Amino acid sequence: MNESAARELLDLGAVYIGEKIKGQDLTKWRRWEAAKSHQASGASKTPPSPAVRPLAPETTLPPGSLLRCHPRPKRFPACGSTDWPAAVVHADDKYIVINKPAGLPCMRHESNATEHVAACASKALLSSGALPPLADRNDDEDGETLEASGTAESGVIHRRRSRRAKIVRREQELEVCHRLDTWTTGLMVLSRTKQVALACGRPFLILGLSRHK
């Protein structure tokens, strides 16, 4: 395999790094990209093993490393051939509604982590300015002020709650709010921020909603 093909597999998320689970006859597999973000986020308090370090085509793995690769990843040409700005039916500060093209999955495929609805729409729409801008979120941040009162002998201290305005710049991150089959076309709702995605999914968790065929 030449360097160009290796880089393409890494970029697609077709390469996995394995890490043996201590005390168990099990292996935890992560895409090399997921392993990289896991290390960068500091999610693990222990030093990362060689099995979860980010890889590049020129990386030499130490003996005993576990690597799994999909040399022929499933590809979805609709990702690049779709006119995504024209596919947008509605866009506001929280959601966008698109006409989903046929032949594109809503979730990551085992051998391809980059060609799915949210990733393809994000790549085409967020960089092109096709969507209305997001307004900064004005959050109230809880604070606490200590206010002394009473006599010096009593030493009473009353706690007074205060609220401070906090401007938060929202980062766009398109996520699908529901699913359609790969070869099904139709309207799909995508949230524009992580906070909206969580709020959208909450009713399904609380009410136990399910789809009906």
15-24, 70-79, 196-205: least confidently modelled range: 196-205
Would you state the pLDDT for residue 64? 83
Taking phi over 0 as left and psi of -120 to 50 as alpha, with beta for the rest, 36 belongs to alpha
Which is higher by pLDDT, 181 or 173? Answer: 181
The count of structural domains within the chain is 3
Whether residue 15 sits in one domain with residue 52: yes
pLDDT of 19-72, one tens digit each? 888 899 899 998 886 555 544 444 444 334 444 445 555 667 788 889 899 999
Whether residue 11 sits in one domain with residue 32: yes
Helix (H) / strand (E) containing 118: helix 117-125
Is there a domain that residue 9 lies in? yes
Q: Which of residues 69, 87, 111 is at a domain's end? A: 69
Which is higher by pLDDT, 169 or 89? Answer: 89
Q: Which of residues 48, 69, 90 is at a domain's end? A: 69
**Torsions phi, psi of 62, nearest 5?**
-70, 160
Q: Which of residues 69, 88, 116 is at a domain's end? A: 69
**Torsions phi, psi of 159, nearest 5?**
-95, 125
Whether residue 143 sits in one domain with residue 48: no
44-48, 110-114, 115-119: least confidently modelled range: 44-48
Please give the share of the chain, as a percent, with pLDDT higher than 90.
Answer: 40
* Residue range of the domain that includes 152: 137-168
Task: Collect all residues with Cβ–Cβ distance below 8 Å to 210 and sequence separation of at least 6.
Answer: none
Would you state the pLDDT for residue 161? 47
- Prediction pTM value: 0.69
Is there a domain that residue 192 lies in? yes
Tell me the two tokens of residue 123.
């790549």
Would you state the pLDDT for residue 123? 93
